[in-house]
Amino acid sequence: MTIYDFTVKDIKGQDISLNSFKGKILLIVNTATGCGLTPQYTGLQKLYEDYQAKGFEILDFPCNQFANQTPGTENEINSFCTLKYNTTFPRFSKIEVNGKNESPLYRFLKERQKGVLGSKNIKWNFTKFLIDKEGNVIKRYGPDKKPETIEADIKKLL
């Protein structure tokens, strides 16, 4: 099983097969619009601008599970990110990353790359997963890992 076996909902609620990203390097991020880490959108957008033409995509999954820091509708979230941070990478519908209603995609990601001390749960907003061109989960980065600090890992996979 790879990342390409999953279907998710885009920001408009339409089904999107992750198979459509086959052959690309992916960075999958659970995000929030009202978090102290929200300015990471700036670094994410810079990575996207620098490497998207070379086969890199960022997949943004808003999540409201951590202190209700993404309370808006999909439309409000998308407008906020587009207007405040000028983001242009794909954004998806709000999901849950932990618990009984967690997204199957995130269950898969967490099984493939565990966190600190082998924990599976996502600890906070802006946890990142790096996926290679074959759909394998290569690395997991904690929320405090700024986007610009993982650029070298992205370049190695490109």
> How many helices (H) and strands (E) would you count in the chain?
4, 6
CA count, 13 A, side-chain hemisphere, 142: 7
Are 37 and 143 a contacting pair, CB within 8 Å?
Answer: yes
What six digits make up the tokens of 35? 């978090």
Element (H, E) at 110: helix 104-112
Name the residues annotated as catalytic.
35
- The residue behind tokens 């190695």 is 156
Give Cα separations from 84 to 41, 42, 66, 76 (angstroms).
9, 9, 21, 12
